[in-house]
A = this chain, B = another copy of it.
Amino acid sequence: MSARPAGPIACRSCDLHEVCRLCGMIAIGESGGLQRTGALRTLRAGTRLFRAGEPAHSLFSVRQGMLKTVDVGSEGEERIVAISTPGDVIGTEAFGTRIYKHDVIAVQPVVCCELPLSLLSDQYTRVRELASALINLLSRASAPRTPLARGSSRERVAGFILDLARRFEKRGLDGRRFSLGMTRQEIASLLDTRIETVSRMIQSMRRDKQIEVEGQQVTLLSLSPSA
């Protein structure tokens, strides 16, 4: 009963869509829904998209599945600092330095689009619309995000689930019934708490009829993604 990965999503609800389109990488004559881009890439759960410190060749966008952005602490413990869901763009920080800053690892089977940085650099100097699109993309990505690891553990877990729900909804996926897509351990790492606490909070929310739970599958009841 392995939960299906989140997505796939349509190109039009991807953050990279405009940039992608201007790069002329979307096949001509596409008909609605899902489209082919220049470079698709698939990863099995647990495999790495890239590593911190590595030279950066590409920008990625998530088509299907979820990935974790990981910070390795001084003692080697992995701390998850972000989760990427379908429609998100990964690697925007490498534009200047051409070096990735974190490990990024698939937590589910992933399909993503790959856009070579060289291609972008070549073209935005010629196509000013592309420069604009890139600037808009990076601008959005530069907004300080409200951290999930704040408040009581109950608030963190509820915040995490709501955050996922809103993101899915924004991309045209189901924001009321979906898979958490990762283990309790990974959720705990993201929320800077413990696996037992995550489990207890989820069960507690279930008893309070806020959600229904079956493994990683969640259904929102009194919680609402639009709230």
CA distance A93 to B198 in the complex (A): 32
Which among A1-9, A34-42, A131-139, A208-216 touches the partner chain? Answer: A131-139
Residues of B within 8 A of A192 (CB): 149-151
Kindly report which residue of chain B lies nearest to residue A125, judged by CB atoms: B128
A154 to chain B, nearest CB (A): 14
Majority SS at the chain A contact face: mixed
Which of these binds chain B: A21-29, A94-102, A163-171, A218-226? A94-102
Query: Given the complex, which residues of B lie within 8 Å of A71, measured CB to CB?
Result: 146
Is A69 on the interface with B (CB-CB < 8 A)?
yes
Q: A149-B150, A150-B149, A192-B151 are in contact. Are A135 and B124 (CB under 8 A)?
A: yes
CB distance from A150 to the nearest CB of B (A): 5
Which B residues are in CB contact (< 8 Å) with A153? Answer: none
Q: Counting CB contacts under 8 A, is A33 at the interface?
A: no
Q: Which of A144, A149, A151 has the most CB of B within 10 A?
A: A144
13 A–B contacts, CB within 8 A, in A order: A81-B147, A92-B139, A93-B139, A93-B140, A95-B136, A96-B139, A124-B131, A125-B131, A131-B131, A131-B135, A135-B135, A138-B142, A150-B192
Q: Which residues of A contact B (CB under 8 A)?
A: 69, 71, 79, 81-82, 92-97, 101-102, 124-125, 128, 131-132, 134-144, 146-147, 149-151, 192
